C-alpha cells in the first residue's frame, strides 16, 4: 500500500471522527435533499451530477447514511480507492468529488451526498461511457447500455463490495483490459520523461549510419522491437535487424511496411507518450459506448483499421480487409442490422458522384458509358440514348439525369451488396477493383464499405439458410440479373472507429487516426461531466 494511500485512509478516519462529533446545527441529509431542483451543498462548490437519483437512493433507505454513519468507514474507504482507480480506466478522479470527499471542512451530510453521487456517476460512466457519443460523433446510433445504478448501489452496500461492483460494470472485452495495461505503461514512460525523439532529416534506410540511427535504435528498443543492449558503435548502423523492426512497427501502425523511416513513419515514431495516453483514453471510452449484446452472430467493421470481422459465439470466424470513405466523405460510425443481400446488383450512382466523378469522365470519353455499362435515365424515368446528349453542355447545376450501372464485371458494387437500413445510405459491397486492397491505407470510397472476398462474407451471412449453397451463391453472383435475398435472421453490423486494436498477443497496436476524431473526444473527456437537470 502506498504512502499516499495510507495518508488518505488516515485522513478519512479523522474526517469520520469529526463528523460523528458534529454540532447539532449541521444540516442533515434530509435537509439538503428536501429542496427542489439542484442540490446546493452548504460547504462545497460541487453540484450533484444526478440529484434525482441521489434523492431516490436516500428516500428508499429512509435517509439513513450509507457512508458516514457508524460502521461505514470501510465502504467510504473502498469508494475512495475505486475513485482513485478510475484513472486506470482513462477517467479522472477529480470528476468524482474527490476533493469534496477528502475536504476537512465538509459537514457529514455533504460528504454523504457527494459519496453517493460519486458512486452513481462512476457506475454510469464505467458502464456506458462518460461522454455522450452524439456530442463528438453525431452519426452514432448504437443503443448505449443502461443500468439501474441506485439498485446496484444498494446491492453493493449490502454485499460490502462497493469497489468491486464498480469494476464489474466496465467492459469485459480483452481489448479493454489490454488498453488499460497500455495506458499504465505509457503513463510510466511519461513519468520518466518520455523518450528521446528522432531528429528530423532525410529518410533512414538500411546501411545508413550516424546519430539519428542511434536514436532510431533507442526508440525501437523502447517498443520491444529490438533487444536492449549496452550501447556500441554498431548501434549507429541501420542493419538488417533494424530494418525488420521498422517493418514490424509500420505494420503495427498501418503504414506501408517498406522498412524505410520516411516522413509518416518518423511521425509515428516521434509521437510522445502523452499522445499514446490520450489515444488509449479515447479508445477505452469508445469501448464503453458499445452495446452490451453485440449479437451472437454479428459483423464488426473497424473503419480506422480498414478491417471487418465476422463474429459467432464470441470468436472471429472471418477477417476481411475493407476500403472506407475518404476523409471528406468519411464512413460514419453506427450500428444497424443486415436485412437483405443483393446479388448481381445494379448501382444507382449518387447524384454527387454522377456530377463530380462521372460527368468529367463522360465529357472526355463518351464511349465510357457503354463500356462500363451505364444507363442514363431522364426525369420522367425513361432510358435515354447517351449518344444524343451534349455532355459538355452539362454541369453540376444542369444535370437532369440519373445514372445506373448494369450488373456485370465492371459494376462498382461487384457481385453482391449487403443492405442494412440507415439514414446515411451506407452499405457493404464487393468491388470491381480488388487491387486497391493491396494498399495499407485504404480510405478511397465515397462512404460505403468495400469488402475483400465479399462472396465469402455472403456465405457466412447466409449460413443459417442452408438452401443457399456455395453453388447457388456462385450462380447468383454470376447471373448478371439482380436477385434479392431477404434474411430470416438479420445480422447485427457495427461500424466502429477504434484507433487502438489488439495485436493478437495481449497487447495493443496504435494506428493512424485517419479521420482525426481522437482529439475532440479527448477534449470532451477533459471537460467537467455535465450535471443532469432535475
Which amino acids are annotated catalytic?
Answer: 429, 448
Enclosing H/E stretch for 476: helix 470-478
| Residue length of the chain | 534
**Sign of dihedral through CA atoms 502, 503, 507, 512?**
negative
Would you say 492 and 294 are in contact if contact means Cβ atoms under 8 Å apart? yes
Cβ partners under 8 Å of residue 139, min gap 6: 332, 333, 334, 424
CA 448 → CA 216, 276, 352, 444, 451, distances in Å?
39, 29, 14, 10, 10
Q: How many CA atoms lie within 13 A of 425 on its CB side?
A: 7
End-to-end CA distance of the chain: 40
Q: How wide is the angle at C-alpha 143 spanned by C-alphas 451 and 496, nearest 5°?
A: 30
- Helix axes 73-85 and 162-169, enclosed angle (nearest 10): 30
CA distance 434 to 344: 17
CA 88 → CA 82, 179, 183, 184, 185, distances in Å?
10, 9, 7, 7, 11
Got the DSSP string for 111-136?
Answer: HHHHHHHHHHHHHHHHHH-SS-GGGT
Q: How wide is the angle at C-alpha 13 spanned by C-alphas 9 and 18, nearest 5°?
A: 145
* 432-436 CB contacts, 8 Å cutoff, 24+ apart: 436/323
Amino acid at each position: 500500500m502506498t504512502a499516499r494511500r495510507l495518508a488518505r485512509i488516515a485522513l478519512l478516519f479523522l474526517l469520520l471522527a469529526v463528523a460523528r462529533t458534529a454540532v447539532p446545527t449541521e444540516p442533515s441529509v434530509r435537509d439538503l435533499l428536501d429542496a427542489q431542483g439542484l442540490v446546493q451543498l452548504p460547504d462545497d462548490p460541487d453540484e450533484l451530477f444526478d440529484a434525482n437519483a441521489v434523492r431516490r437512493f436516500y428516500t428508499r433507505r429512509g435517509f439513513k447514511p450509507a457512508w458516514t454513519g457508524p460502521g461505514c468507514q470501510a465502504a467510504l474507504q473502498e469508494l475512495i480507492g475505486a475513485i482513485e482507480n478510475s484513472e486506470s480506466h482513462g477517467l479522472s478522479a477529480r470528476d468524482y468529488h474527490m476533493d469534496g470527499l477528502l475536504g476537512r471542512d465538509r459537514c457529514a451530510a455533504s460528504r454523504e451526498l457527494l459519496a453517493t453521487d460519486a458512486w452513481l456517476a462512476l457506475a454510469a460512466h464505467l458502464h456506458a461511457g462518460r461522454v455522450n457519443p452524439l456530442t463528438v460523433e453525431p452519426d452514432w446510433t448504437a443503443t448505449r447500455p443502461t443500468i439501474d445504478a441506485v439498485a446496484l448501489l444498494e446491492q453493493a452496500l449490502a454485499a460490502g463490495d462497493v469497489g468491486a461492483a464498480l469494476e464489474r460494470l466496465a467492459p469485459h472485452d480483452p481489448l479493454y483490459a489490454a488498453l488499460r495495461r497500455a495506458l499504465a505503461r505509457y503513463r510510466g514512460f511519461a513519468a520518466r520523461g518520455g523518450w528521446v525523439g528522432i531528429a528530423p532529416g532525410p529518410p533512414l534506410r538500411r546501411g545508413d549510419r550516424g546519430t539519428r540511427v542511434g536514436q532510431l535504435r533507442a526508440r525501437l528498443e523502447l517498443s520491444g522491437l529490438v533487444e536492449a543492449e549496452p550501447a556500441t558503435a554498431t548501434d549507429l548502423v541501420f542493419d538488417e535487424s533494424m530494418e525488420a523492426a521498422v517493418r514490424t512497427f509500420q505494420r503495427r501502425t498501418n503504414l506501408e511496411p517498406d522498412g524505410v523511416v520516411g516522413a509518416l513513419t518518423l511521425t509515428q515514431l516521434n509521437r510522445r507518450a502523452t499522445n499514446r495516453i490520450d489515444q488509449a483514453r479515447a479508445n477505452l471510452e469508445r469501448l464503453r459506448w458499445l452495446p452490451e449484446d453485440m449479437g451472437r452472430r454479428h459483423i464488426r467493421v473497424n473503419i480506422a483499421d480498414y478491417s471487418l470481422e465476422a463474429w459467432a459465439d464470441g470468436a472471429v470466424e472471418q477477417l476481411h480487409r475493407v476500403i472506407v470513405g475518404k476523409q471528406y466523405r468519411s464512413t460514419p460510425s453506427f450500428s444497424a442490422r443486415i436485412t437483405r443481400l443483393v446479388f448481381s446488383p445494379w448501382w444507382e450512382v449518387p447524384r454527387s458522384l454522377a456530377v463530380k466523378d462521372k460527368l468529367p469522365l463522360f465529357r472526355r470519353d463518351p464511349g465510357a458509358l457503354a463500356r462500363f455499362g451505364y444507363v442514363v435515365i431522364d426525369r420522367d424515368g425513361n432510358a435515354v440514348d447517351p449518344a444524343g446528349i451534349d455532355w459538355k453542355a452539362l454541369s453540376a447545376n444542369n444535370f437532369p439525369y440519373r445514372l445506373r450501372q448494369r450488373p456485370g464485371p465492371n459494376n462498382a458494387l461487384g457481385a453482391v451488396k449487403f443492405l442494412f437500413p440507415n439514414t446515411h445510405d451506407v452499405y457493404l459491397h464487393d468491388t470491381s477493383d480488388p487491387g486497391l486492397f493491396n494498399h495499407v491505407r485504404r480510405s478511397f470510397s465515397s462512404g460505403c464499405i468495400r469488402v475483400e472476398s465479399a462472396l465469402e462474407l455472403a456465405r457466412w451471412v447466409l449460413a443459417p439458410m442452408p438452401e443457399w449453397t456455395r453453388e447457388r451463391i456462385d450462380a447468383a453472383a454470376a447471373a448478371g440479373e439482380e436477385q434479392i435475398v431477404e434474411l430470416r435472421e438479420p445480422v447485427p453490423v457495427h461500424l466502429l472507429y477504434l484507433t487502438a486494436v489488439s495485436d493478437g498477443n495481449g497487447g495493443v497496436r496504435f494506428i493512424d487516426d485517419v479521420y482525426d476524431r481522437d482529439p475532440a473526444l479527448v477534449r470532451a473527456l477533459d471537460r467537467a461531466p455535465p450535471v443532469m437537470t432535475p
